[in-house]
Amino acid sequence: MNNQSPFLIVLTGKTASGKDTVMAKLMNTLPNLKKVVTTTSRKPRSNEKNGVDYYFISEAEFRQKINQEDFIEYVSYGGNLYGTEKKQITDNLDKNLIWRIDPSRAGQIKEFMEDSDFKLTQNLLKRTAVIYLTTSDEVVLERLKRRGLTKQEIETRMGEDQRFWKQFKDNYNFVVENTPGKLNETVAKIIQIIYFLAKDCNLK
């Protein structure tokens, strides 16, 4: 895919809907996609690499970046800070980007970009698509149980899914069903969306 005008795919969805798996498959299928890497104050897990999975920094460094207005958006979650630095976009305006982010922030992402005081090309903003992955509640419930979450934690996450959907559903450009065992079909649907974007469509 050699389009001259880069695009931005914002990938979000329900908890346990397979976002990371879908993104990994997409990036393997379309190697010209560049991942927008989130910055966090939490410690890396044993299988995580700095600059690949996240940028891992101290809480003090994170708060300094907040004061310097380095972030497009940031949030406190589970006792740690997560955010996306503006340079992740501004340094890669010539790249096709994929940005995996939670539903509440994905629902506001265009507002974040428009309100930020950094220069974002209008062409990229016009070809930014927010894709919401969904799967059945039964699948979500089973996956969360396998992760060892408590009943209360599961209810909280699934309740947040419902709340975010009601609040931001009109801000998601596309909804894609990610049915278990049909990963290739899910990825094929998203690739169709990407080719649609590559035609310089305005989804704002």
Residue 4's pLDDT is 55
Tell me: do 114 and 13 sit in the same domain: yes
Separation of alpha carbons 150 and 156, rounded Å: 10
3-state secondary structure the chain: CCCCCCCEEEEEECCCCCHHHHHHHHHHHCCCEEECCCEECCCCCCCCCECCCEEECCHHHHHHHHHCCCEEEEEEECCEEEEEECHHHHCCCCCEEEEECCHHHHCCHHHHHHHCCCCCCHHHHHCEEEEEEECCHHHHHHHHHHCCCCHHHHHHHHHHHHHHHHHHHHHCCEEEECCCCCHHHHHHHHHHHHHHHCCCCCCC
Tell me: do 101 and 180 sit in the same domain: yes
Domain boundary among 91, 114, 132: 91
- Domain at 64, CATH number: 3.30.63.10
Domain boundary among 47, 71, 91: 91
Q: Which of 14, 3, 64, 11 is nearest to 39 (CA)?
A: 64
Residue 204's pLDDT is 46
Residue 191's pLDDT is 93
Residue in this structure with the two tokens 């982010």, named with its chain if needed: 101
pTM metric for this prediction: 0.86
Number of domains in the chain: 2
Tell me: do 138 and 163 sit in the same domain: yes
Residue 3's pLDDT is 47
Residue 109's pLDDT is 82
Q: pLDDT digit of tens for each residue in the chain (204 aa)?
A: 554 578 899 999 999 999 989 999 999 999 899 999 999 999 998 888 999 999 999 999 999 999 999 998 898 876 789 999 989 988 888 899 999 998 888 888 878 777 665 555 566 777 889 999 999 999 999 999 998 889 998 998 899 899 999 999 999 999 999 999 999 999 999 999 988 877 755 554
Residue 64's pLDDT is 98
